[in-house]
Amino acid sequence: MVAELRQLHEAAGDPDIERMPGDEEIYAALLYTEKHASALRHCAAEVQQSAALKRVHLWEYLREQTDLHQLRAVTDARSAGVPWAQLAPALAVAAPSAAYNKTKRLQAVTLTDDTPDGRPVRRTPEAVLEAERRRALEAEAERRRQEAAERSHRLLLPVARRLVEQREALVLDEDAEYWLDEISAVLPDCVTPTQMLSLNRYLAAAVRSLRKLEQRTASPVTTTQEAHAAYLAAAALQAEQASSARS
Q: Last residue of some domain: 41, 61, 82?
A: 82
Domain assignment present for residue 193? The answer is yes
How many residues would you count in the chain?
247
Instruction: For residues 198 and 183, give the distance between their C-alpha atoms in angstroms, rounded to a whole number.
Output: 9
In this structure, the answer to whether residues 149 and 78 fall within a common structural domain is no
pLDDT in tens for each of the 247 residues of the chain?
889 999 998 998 988 888 899 988 999 999 999 999 999 888 899 989 999 999 999 998 898 888 889 989 999 999 999 999 999 999 999 999 999 888 888 887 766 555 555 566 666 667 667 767 777 777 777 777 777 667 766 788 899 999 999 999 999 999 999 999 999 998 888 888 888 888 889 999 999 999 999 999 999 999 999 999 999 999 998 888 776 666 5
Q: pTM score, two decimals?
A: 0.46
For residues 151 and 68, membership in a common domain is answered with no
Q: Is residue 89 part of a domain?
A: no
Backbone angles phi, psi at 120, to 5 degrees: -60, 145
Answer whether residue 97 is part of any domain.
Answer: no
Number of domain units in the chain: 2
Is position 40 within any domain?
Answer: yes
Task: State the Cα–Cα distance between residues 234 and 240, nearest whole angstrom.
Answer: 10
Last residue of a domain, one of 59, 82, 105: 82
pLDDT digits (tens, 9 = 90+) for 1-44: 889 999 998 998 988 888 899 988 999 999 999 999 999 888 89
The range of the structural domain enclosing residue 11 comes to 2-82
Residue 115 lies in a domain: no
Domain boundary among 39, 67, 82: 82
Question: 237 and 163, same structural domain?
Answer: yes
pLDDT tens column, 178-191 = 999 999 998 888 88
SS (H, E, C) the chain: CHHHHHHHHHHCCCCCHHHCCCCCCHHHHHHHHHHCHHHHCCCCHHHHHHHHHHHHHHHHHHHHHHHHHHHHHHHHHHHCCCCHHHHHHHCCCCCHHHHHHHHHHHHHHHCECCCCCCCECCCCHHHHHHHHHHHHHHHHHHHHHHHHHHHHHHHHHHHHHHHHHCHHHECCCHHHHHHHHHHHHHHHHCCCHHHHHHHHHHHHHHHHHHHHHHHHHCCCCECCHHHHHHHHHHHHHHHHHHHHHHC
Exposure class string for 11-40: b at 16+ Cβ within 10 A, else e: ebebeebeebbeeeebeebbebbeebeebb
pLDDT score for 152: 65
Residue 133 domain-assigned (yes or no): no
**Contact indicator for 20, 10 with CB cutoff of 8 Å:** no
Assess whether 153 and 240 both reside in one domain.
Answer: yes
Identify whether 61 is part of a domain.
yes
Task: Classify residue 121: in a domain, yes or no.
Answer: no
